Amino acid sequence: MVTDWIAQTQAERARAEADLRMIAGTTPQRMSRAEIVALVTALDDITTVLRDADPTDKAEVYRQLGLRLAYQPETQTVCAAVDLSAHRGAMVCVRGGT
């Protein structure tokens, strides 16, 4: 429970810092090594939580993130599409061996 809270807090902090840079109109500065490690660690904790989550809860998280997954049985691959328009972006689709 504490690990989940720490991961969520670190992710929220990174998002808030990015929002502040955008609002201030400044050029984004490179993240420090410690910031990158903290972000990757937080994301790793989140992936563990999602992997073990109830399928209904997982689907809701993906829905709120704007993430859509489409399984391609012919190639046994998954196409992941994220609608970033709600988060200041555009539609993105990643395919291949990731």
Digit-coded pLDDT (tens) for 11-46? 777 777 777 777 666 666 788 888 888 888 877 778
Task: Tell me what pLDDT residue 24 has.
Answer: 66
- Report the percent of the chain where pLDDT is more than 70: 72
Angle at 95 between CA 15 and CA 30, to 5 degrees: 30
Same domain, 70 and 25: no
Task: Tell me what pLDDT residue 73 has.
Answer: 93
Same domain, 47 and 71: no
Q: Is residue 57 part of a domain?
A: no
Residue-range definition of the domain harbouring residue 42:
1-52
Q: Is residue 5 part of a domain?
A: yes
pLDDT band with cut points at 50, 70 and 90 for residue 47 = confident
Report which of 76, 85, 93, 11 is spatially closest to residue 50, judged by C-alpha positions: 11
- Its pTM stands at 0.46
Same domain, 45 and 6: yes
Question: Hey, is 72 helix, strand or coil?
Answer: strand
